[in-house]
Chains A and B, each alone.
Chain A
Amino acid sequence: MTEVVVRCSGVTRTYQDEAVPVYALRGVDFEVRRGEFVSLAGPSGSGKSTLLNVIGGLDRPDEGRVEVDGTLLNDLSQSELSDMRLNKMGFVFQAYNLIPVLSALENVEFIMQLQGVGAAERKERARVALASLGISELEHRRPGELSGGQQQRAAIARAIVTNPVLLLADEPSANLDSGATQELLELLQRLNEDSGVTIITATHDPMVMSYAKRRINLRDGAIVEDAINEALPA
């Protein structure tokens, strides 16, 4: 049986909005196994980004348990969560969020520097990651000198260069045109299929959903549908 990478049990997250509790997540239960490509779908306010943040240890649930790669996140301190994110997760953000003063290569190297990887190995791995995303020739450009699609590729290179257990992508196509979105999705698909990277993406873009192997629909903080994408080959 395939190993479970993410296990959420009864996850609830509530926000206070002018003394009125707003339920972002209501007792969410689900599992993601190694090698899956899952899209969390739903309209704005459905709780998909909140669920992604909770899985990524960026936010804490009020109730319920979140396990990533066998570690219960509820018990971890902020520092331990930082280390967990550094060592086991890769993040791709809607706004790319590259470090503006570093080149594409340095941005990819950055995360390995935090891990203490030696300079030569770091540079080599960063170059391989950029090459695998087709932007080797742009390695010395800073984010401001790259297009949105190129920045997103650099962000993905940064996210995967450490071989994370889990790649989390929050609305990765939100700022891309359809051509760039398709390229990005083909890239994620290739990573998932060729390298076995487990991917969870929060999106309301049907195109992104069409590339995911599994779609979890959320509405008002609860899972209303959890289905395999039949359109993709098994």
Chain B
Amino acid sequence: MSDAPAGVARNVRARATPMLAMRIGWRNLWRNARRTWLTAGGIAFAILLVVFSMALQFGSYAGMTENATSLLTGHLQIQNPAYVNDQRVEHTIADATIVRRQIEATPGVLAVAPRVEIFALALDAEGERSSGVQIMGVDVAAELSTVRFLKMVKQGRVLQSADEAVIGATLARNLGLDVGDELLLLGSAKQGGMAALALRVVGLFESGMAELDRGLLFAELEAVQNAFELGDEVHTFAIKVVDLESIDTTLGMLRREIVRDDVVIRHWEEVLPELQQAIELDRVSGQFLYWMIMILVVFSVVNSFIMTVFERTREFGMLLALGTRPAGIVALVLWEALFMWMLGALIGLSLATGLLWWLADVGIYLGAAMEEFSAQFYMPSRIYPALTAGAMLTAPLVMLIGTLLAALVPALRIPLMQPVEALRAE
């Protein structure tokens, strides 16, 4: 006791210091160790499952996006605005050489492939068989640097001169052509006249996509431009960026750099809306599952804290009797909940990080049976999880809020307690 006489007490308001509340909260956690481990285990399980699934999901999106954009479309495309909805031969970008230089000079651009894209009729040399095709007039070197489609030539070789063509294997079969055979292309030139181009098939590609294998034909850019009276004009610039993560920055730079009425710069999400929709659908269904898992675990935390509050009613009555403010007792319960979450998050995140770190190196092979199926959805045959902040932090933060709310709900009973009644509780 101090030397002050009895009854000379300072009149102060109760304030539980954070250190005191933390100490009591931490020790309270171990009053029922089994319950604590079970509840923390539930939190850890939810965090492990959701972090792992999200990392895998984000990783598969990255793989799908890279697969899809690297095939033919590129990460960005530049076109004439009119060409986007109406792919007529005259909807071109003029002064293609100047525009190409501007694109190549923009930071963040790795490669650019100019293209002329024209619908025409393809006939065999005898004119007996015909088929509608889309001619892709390409700069082969630029094309190979930007996308991988021409690497799918399974028979023959890629283009080397102006009179050569690479066509789909199905198209070749339909026209009765093979490597070395000639074909004739007929279409409308830009000025309205008839355009004709005779080419020799030097390669056959197999992409696995029926529509492309049946209707796509590659030829040298200049040859197509000359045949269809396009001069220095193209329909599309396909662009590969250095880093897909910062594609929006590069897009913004290009939009500032190339300000012309006959140009629109499009993100791959606009060019491949079906891919974006598939990702969005998968993301939403994944989120629904994650929320269900986390809500279930939060309910178990609520249950745990309901038991805690009921079991300690008498103790809370004693604390109230001693002069502790109800908010101070609620704070004790919340500290306990915070420590519970920290324990669960530490276990869950440690396990998830270890597992994902290993899988980020070796990946998850989907199996030979899945390869063909997954290719149709641009899925890679091996998925690598994405160790992103979003995947790693979303579940722990949601569980933090959930755990605190789960503890707060039963703890809100404390301010309603009458000390004298609480002290009588068994």
Q: Footprint of B on A, CB under 8 Å?
A: 5, 34, 53, 56, 58-59, 69, 78-79, 82-89, 91, 93, 95, 97, 99-102, 106, 110-111, 113-116, 125, 128-129, 132, 158, 160-166, 195-198
Are the C-beta atoms of B323 and A85 separated by less than 8 Å?
Answer: yes
Closest residue on chain B to residue A88 by CB atoms: B9
Judge if B6 is at the interface, Cβ distance under 8 Å. Answer: yes
Residues of B near A129 (CB, < 8 A) are: 1
Residues of B near A100 (CB, < 8 A) are: 31, 315
Residues of A near B328 (CB, < 8 A) are: 114
Are the C-beta atoms of A125 and B7 separated by less than 8 Å?
Answer: no
Q: Footprint of A on B, CB under 8 Å?
A: 1-2, 4-17, 20, 23-24, 27-28, 30-31, 314-315, 318-326, 328, 418-420, 423
Please measure, in the bound complex, the distance between the C-alpha atom of A79 and the C-alpha atom of B13, giving whole angstroms. Answer: 9
Cβ 8 A contact of B2, one of A34, A59, A125: A125
Closest residue on chain A to residue B2 by CB atoms: A125
The 3 A-B pairs with the shortest beta carbon distances in the complex, nearest first, are: A86-B323, A101-B27, A165-B7
Please measure, in the bound complex, the distance between the C-alpha atom of A106 and the C-alpha atom of B324, giving whole angstroms. Answer: 15
Are the C-beta atoms of A115 and B1 separated by less than 8 Å?
Answer: no
Please measure, in the bound complex, the distance between the C-alpha atom of A84 and the C-alpha atom of B1, giving whole angstroms. Answer: 19
From known contacts A93-B423, A116-B15, infer whether A164 and B7 are also in contact, taking CB-CB under 8 Å: yes
Are the C-beta atoms of A115 and B10 separated by less than 8 Å?
Answer: yes
Are the C-beta atoms of B20 and A113 separated by less than 8 Å?
Answer: yes
Please measure, in the bound complex, the distance between the C-alpha atom of A87 and the C-alpha atom of B24, giving whole angstroms. Answer: 22
Residues of A near B420 (CB, < 8 A) are: 53, 58-59
Q: Could you list 30 A-B pairs, sorted by A, with CB under 8 Å? A: A53-B420, A58-B321, A59-B420, A82-B14, A82-B323, A83-B12, A83-B13, A83-B14, A86-B324, A87-B9, A87-B10, A87-B323, A89-B323, A91-B322, A99-B319, A101-B24, A101-B27, A101-B31, A102-B24, A114-B14, A114-B322, A114-B324, A115-B10, A115-B14, A116-B12, A128-B1, A158-B322, A165-B7, A196-B5, A198-B6
Q: Is the interface of B mostly helix, strand, loop or mixed?
A: loop
A81 to B: closest C-beta gap in Å? 9
Closest residue on chain A to residue B325 by CB atoms: A82
Are the C-beta atoms of A69 and B7 separated by less than 8 Å?
Answer: yes
Are the C-beta atoms of B325 and A111 separated by less than 8 Å?
Answer: no
Are the C-beta atoms of A113 and B16 separated by less than 8 Å?
Answer: yes
Are the C-beta atoms of A160 and B1 separated by less than 8 Å?
Answer: yes
B329 to A: closest C-beta gap in Å? 11
Please measure, in the bound complex, the distance between the C-alpha atom of A196 and the C-alpha atom of B418, giving whole angstroms. Answer: 31
A159 to B: closest C-beta gap in Å? 9
Cβ 8 A contact of B320, one of A82, A88, A95, A163: A82
Closest residue on chain B to residue A89 by CB atoms: B323
Please measure, in the bound complex, the distance between the C-alpha atom of A197 and the C-alpha atom of B419, giving whole angstroms. Answer: 24
Please measure, in the bound complex, the distance between the C-alpha atom of A114 and the C-alpha atom of B28, giving whole angstroms. Answer: 18
Please measure, in the bound complex, the distance between the C-alpha atom of A196 and the C-alpha atom of B5, giving whole angstroms. Answer: 8
Please measure, in the bound complex, the distance between the C-alpha atom of A91 and the C-alpha atom of B315, giving whole angstroms. Answer: 14
Residues of B near A195 (CB, < 8 A) are: 1, 5-6
Are the C-beta atoms of A97 and B315 separated by less than 8 Å?
Answer: yes
Residues of B near A113 (CB, < 8 A) are: 16-17, 20
Residues of A near B16 (CB, < 8 A) are: 113-114
Are the C-beta atoms of B27 and A102 separated by less than 8 Å?
Answer: yes
Please measure, in the bound complex, the distance between the C-alpha atom of A165 and the C-alpha atom of B6, giving whole angstroms. Answer: 6
Are the C-beta atoms of B423 and A58 separated by less than 8 Å?
Answer: yes
B266 to A: closest C-beta gap in Å? 63
